[in-house]
């Protein structure tokens, strides 16, 4: 038990928490007589500094073996996931500075930083209790962020639904964890794997795995546990939705892939043959297929941009689950690349929505009409994000889908269920392309409903987010090995 | 005859279902035979401890004290963590003391925040 070693491993979290406390203290002392705008910008600057410090902390913590008696692990996945989460949090903060109108700006920034600390801790956790605590720190912060806009009833509804669903899933997760502990006598993942390999299958283990996967489904918004996602994406403040849709996904999938493969790997079962031996892999395959079908088809019927993005997030969760399935064989590269580029594209799309909503439009798809005239920058970036989400080369979304599907087809070929799942996902990508193009048509082709409609002003902070994410999506699509080489 | 070790759970479940059903059935029968429905204004009125009711029953309740409950809970849980720490204090390294002080500092900052924002004032 070396506390200095622990402190070094937790440098990013320390930087984030100190930054959050500083933002609050600054607001309480110097911010009292300032305007809301100044307080927001001060808080965002402090938050950005904290995130940058956390990035340096994550880099200086580096790659090491188990830390503090195996509580944390600092491998390549931890480092990549921490840096990815921090970058997405930085984008969220910058977007907050540009577009948000908040009654309590410092509190908002502080809670974003607390959530980010939860995410980075999730990326490093290697013990069930720490994993659960990190997940709850992140989730509780996200519930508050979802309900932050007290002037809109939709925001309160979103927060309440998210809280109830999230609380339920936390209960499931804890119950599953307690059963795992009862079966293996340990809460540390390597020991659990060791014990599970000795014990083999048992009914109690199946129950525990189902419990954990139900919770996983809730957190990842995978069908049939997706019901909270559309309401939260629609009702929460745009910036909160962006964080929930991007950084939280990346951290969640990092945590669960670590839990499932290094921890419960011996109980994986198999999807290589049609019958499939019992384990969690067939269950994840079912979740993936359900999410792909439901997300893509339900998205076709949406008229609200944010709800459409929520259903597309459910569909993408299906592909990410496929990435979890192939992670045992093809490594973590495909999954991480997919989730990270998805997070970038989503945060960009939400940035566009935030800027458009700030200019006074509501959230219908038809409100995007004539965006190319009203703001060419917004329309151009929007095209990059949506085409990347749809998987059009040379953008990053294409390569993400390509690596995941190729890895799935390598796993037992076309005949195995993973192969079928990949085929289903490829076919449904065509459906997805349709609804993304419906949005793009409004933004790029259709003339503005009101010919005299004013141009949409893009604040400088939001422009940074837009250009940065669009450029990164193009560059990562051209040079995917930059990310894939890490693993 | 040896009962299954979990057989009592089945019995327990059966009683748990039967008990409320029987009570509800008895109440229903009582209503059917001894209590003819004769609604009136007085019988349908809001119950207000026996005196004549004044005003609507759908009023907003002042629930501000939940803040005090939350703040109390913070320090309640803090004590819960401090007690085992105090018991094991002599065998712990210096790092543990620092960790505990950080924990206390975080909670104190929460109280300072609530105080400064005026959440402790009764409105």
Q: Cβ of B95 under 8 Å from any chain A Cβ?
A: yes
Number of alpha carbons in the 13 Å side-chain half-sphere of residue B95: 9
- Residue among B98, B99, B113 minimizing CB distance to A24: B113
pLDDT of residue B52: 77
Beta carbons of A391 and A401 less than 8 angstroms apart: yes
pLDDT of residue A485: 86
- The ipTM is 0.74
pLDDT of residue A120: 96
Q: Which residues of A316-350 are buried (b: 16+ CB within 10 A; e: fewer)?
A: bbbbbbbbbbbbbebbbbbbbbbbbbbbbbbbbbb
- Coil, helix or strand at residue A65: strand
Rounded Cα distance between A259 and A216, Å, is 10
- Coil, helix or strand at residue A374: helix
How close is the nearest chain B Cα to the Cα of A43, in Å? 15
- The answer to whether the Cβ–Cβ distance between A3 and B113 falls below 8 Å is no
Could you tell me how many CB contacts below 8 A there are between chain A and chain B? 21
Name A24's Cβ contacts closer than 8 Å, sequence gap at least 6: A106, A107, A110, B109, B113
pLDDT, tens only, A140-174: 999 999 999 888 899 999 999 999 999 999 999 99
pLDDT of residue A170: 95
Rounded Cα distance between B56 and A60, Å, is 64
Rounded Cα distance between A21 and A11, Å, is 15
**pLDDT higher than threshold 60 for residue A273:** no
- Domain range list for chain A: 1-261, 268-487
Neighbours of A38 (CB within 10 A): 13
Burial of A28 (0-12, 13-18, 19+ CB in 10 A): middle
pLDDT of residue A336: 95
Q: Which comes out higher in pLDDT, residue A34 or B16?
A: B16
Beta carbons of A263 and A192 less than 8 angstroms apart: yes
Rounded Cα distance between A111 and A144, Å, is 8
pLDDT, tens only, A394-453: 899 999 999 999 999 888 777 776 888 899 999 999 999 999 999 999 999 988 877 767
pLDDT, tens only, A170-201: 999 999 999 999 999 999 999 999 999 898 78
Mean pLDDT of A4-13: 90
**pLDDT higher than threshold 80 for residue A360:** no
pLDDT of residue B1: 58
Name B33's Cβ contacts closer than 8 Å, sequence gap at least 6: none
Which of B70, B77, B93, B95 best tests the A interface by mutation, with the highest count of A CBs <10 A?
B95
Beta carbons of A238 and A108 less than 8 angstroms apart: no
Nearest-by-CA chain A residue for B107: A21
- Residue among B93, B112, B117 minimizing CB distance to A3: B93
Q: Which comes out higher in pLDDT, residue A413 or A129?
A: A129
Highest mean pLDDT of the ranges A100-109, A112-121, A205-214, A452-461: A112-121
Beta-bridge partners for A67? A72
Name A479's Cβ contacts closer than 8 Å, sequence gap at least 6: none
Please name the residue that has the structure tokens 């990346």: A250
Least confident interval from A25-29, A37-41, A231-235, B44-48:
B44-48
- Coil, helix or strand at residue A161: helix
HEC secondary structure over chain B: CCCCCCHHHHHHHHHHHHHHHHHHHHHHHHHHHHCCCCCCCCCCCCCCCCCCCCCCCCCCCCCCHHHHHHHHHHHHHHHHHHHHHHHCHHHCCHHHHHHHHHHHHHHHHHHHHHHHCCCCCCC
Mean pLDDT of A289-312: 94
Q: Cβ of A20 under 8 Å from any chain B Cβ?
A: no
In chain A, pLDDT over 70 holds for what percent of residues?
98
Least confident interval from A28-32, A211-215, B119-123:
B119-123
**pLDDT higher than threshold 60 for residue A276:** no
- The answer to whether the Cβ–Cβ distance between A3 and B112 falls below 8 Å is no
What is the secondary structure of A186-221 as a DSSP string?
Answer: --BHHHHHHHHHHH---HHHHHHHHHHHHHHHHHHT
Q: Which two tokens stand for residue A462?
A: 């939001």
**pLDDT higher than threshold 70 for residue A35:** yes
CA dihedral A391, A392, A396, A400 (to 10 degrees): 40
Q: Which two tokens stand for residue A176?
A: 């599953």
Q: Tell how far CA B74 is from the center of its chain.
A: 16
- Mean pLDDT of chain B, nearest integer: 85
Q: What residues of chain A lie within 8 A of the CB of B99, using their CB?
A: 3
Q: Cβ of B112 under 8 Å from any chain A Cβ?
A: yes
pLDDT of residue A144: 95
- The answer to whether the Cβ–Cβ distance between A28 and B113 falls below 8 Å is yes
- Cis peptide leading into B35, omega within 30 of 0? no
Nearest-by-CA chain B residue for A17: B106
Q: Tell how far CA A472 is from the center of its chain.
A: 17
Rounded Cα distance between A3 and A219, Å, is 32
Mean pLDDT of A330-354: 94
**pLDDT higher than threshold 80 for residue A65:** no
Task: Work out whether the CA dihedral A444, A242, A214, A183 comes out positive or negative.
Answer: positive
Nearest-by-CA chain B residue for A5: B95
- The answer to whether the Cβ–Cβ distance between B116 and A28 falls below 8 Å is yes
Q: Cβ of B92 under 8 Å from any chain A Cβ?
A: no
Q: Cβ of B104 under 8 Å from any chain A Cβ?
A: no
Predicted confidence band at A277 (pLDDT cuts at 50, 70, 90)?
low
pLDDT of residue A50: 97
Least confident interval from A28-42, A48-62, A79-93, B54-68:
B54-68
Beta-bridge partners for A73? A66
pLDDT of residue A275: 56
Number of alpha carbons in the 13 Å side-chain half-sphere of residue B2: 2
Nearest-by-CA chain B residue for A28: B116
**pLDDT higher than threshold 80 for residue A105:** yes
Nearest-by-CA chain A residue for B110: A21
How close is the nearest chain B Cα to the Cα of A16, in Å? 13
CA-closest candidate to residue A456, choices A366, A355, A365: A355
How close is the nearest chain A Cα to the Cα of B95, in Å? 5
How many residues in total does chain B contain?
123
Mean pLDDT of A354-363: 83
Which of A16, A20, A21 best tests the B interface by mutation, with the highest count of B CBs <10 A?
A21
**pLDDT higher than threshold 90 for residue B57:** no
Highest mean pLDDT of the ranges A403-412, B15-24, B37-46: B15-24
Least confident interval from A39-53, A320-334, B60-74, B95-109:
B60-74
- Residue among B98, B106, B112 minimizing CB distance to A3: B98
Rounded Cα distance between A55 and A228, Å, is 32
- Mean pLDDT of chain A, nearest integer: 91
- Domain range list for chain B: 65-116
Rounded Cα distance between A263 and A192, Å, is 6
- Coil, helix or strand at residue A413: coil
């Amino acid at each position: 038990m070396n506390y200095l070693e622990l402190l070094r491993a937790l440098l990013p979290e320390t930087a984030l928490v100190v930054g959050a406390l500083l933002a609050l203290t600054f607001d309480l002392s110097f911010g009292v007589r300032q305007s809301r705008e100044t307080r927001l910008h001060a808080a965002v600057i402090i938050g950005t500094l904290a995130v940058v410090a956390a990035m340096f902390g994550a880099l200086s913590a580096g790659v090491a073996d188990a830390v503090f008696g195996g509580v944390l692990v600092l491998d390549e996945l931890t480092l990549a996931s921490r840096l990815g989460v921090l970058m997405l949090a930085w984008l969220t903060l910058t977007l907050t500075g540009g577009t948000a109108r908040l009654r309590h700006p410092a509190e908002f920034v502080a809670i974003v930083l607390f959530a980010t600390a939860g995410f980075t801790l999730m990326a490093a956790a290697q013990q069930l209790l720490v994993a659960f605590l990190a997940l709850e720190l992140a989730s509780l912060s996200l519930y508050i962020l979802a309900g932050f806009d007290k002037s809109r009833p939709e925001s309160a509804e979103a927060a309440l639904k998210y809280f109830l669903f999230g609380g339920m899933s936390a209960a499931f997760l804890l119950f599953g964890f307690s059963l795992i502990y009862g079966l293996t006598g340990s809460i540390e993942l390597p020991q659990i794997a060791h014990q599970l390999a000795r014990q083999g299958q048992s009914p109690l283990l199946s129950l525990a795995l189902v419990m954990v996967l139900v919770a996983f489904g809730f957190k990842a918004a995978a069908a049939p546990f997706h019901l909270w996602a559309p309401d939260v994406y629609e009702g929460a403040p745009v910036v909160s939705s962006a964080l929930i849709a991007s950084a939280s996904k990346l951290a969640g999938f990092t945590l669960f892939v670590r839990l499932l493969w290094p921890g419960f790997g011996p109980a994986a079962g198999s999807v290589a043959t049609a019958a499939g031996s019992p384990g969690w892999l067939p269950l994840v395959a079912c979740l993936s297929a359900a999410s792909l079908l439901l997300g893509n088809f339900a998205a076709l019927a949406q008229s609200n941009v944010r709800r459409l993005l929520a259903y597309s997030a459910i569909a993408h969760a299906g592909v990410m689950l496929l990435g979890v399935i192939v992670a045992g064989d093809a490594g973590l590269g495909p999954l991480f690349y997919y989730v990270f580029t998805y997070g970038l594209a989503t945060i960009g799309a939400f940035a566009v929505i935030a800027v458009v909503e700030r200019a006074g439009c509501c959230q219908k798809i038809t409100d995007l009409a004539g965006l190319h005239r009203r703001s060419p920058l917004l329309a151009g970036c929007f095209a990059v994000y949506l085409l990347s989400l749809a998987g059009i080369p040379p953008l990053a979304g294409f390569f993400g889908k390509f690596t995941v599907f190729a890895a799935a087809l390598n796993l037992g070929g076309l005949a195995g269920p993973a192969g079928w799942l990949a085929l289903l996902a490829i076919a449904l990508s065509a459906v997805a392309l349709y609804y993304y193009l419906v949005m793009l048509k409004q933004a790029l082709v259709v003339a503005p409903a009101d010919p005299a409609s004013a141009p949409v002003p893009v604040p400088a902070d939001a422009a940074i987010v837009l250009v940065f994410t669009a450029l990164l999506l193009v560059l990562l699509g051209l040079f995917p090995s930059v990310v894939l080489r890490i693993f | 005859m040896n009962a299954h070790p979990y057989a009592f759970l089945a019995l327990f479940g059966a009683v748990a279902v039967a008990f409320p059903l029987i009570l509800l059935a008895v109440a229903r029968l009582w209503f059917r035979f001894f209590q003819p429905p004769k609604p009136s204004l007085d019988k349908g009125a809001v119950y207000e401890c026996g005196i004549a009711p004044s005003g609507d029953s759908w009023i907003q309740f002042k629930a501000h004290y939940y803040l005090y409950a939350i703040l109390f809970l913070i320090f309640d849980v803090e004590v819960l963590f401090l007690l085992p720490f105090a018991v094991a204090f002599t065998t712990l390294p210096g790092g543990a003391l620092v960790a505990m002080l950080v924990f206390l500092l975080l909670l104190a900052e929460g109280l300072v925040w609530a105080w400064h924002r005026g959440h402790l004032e009764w409105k």
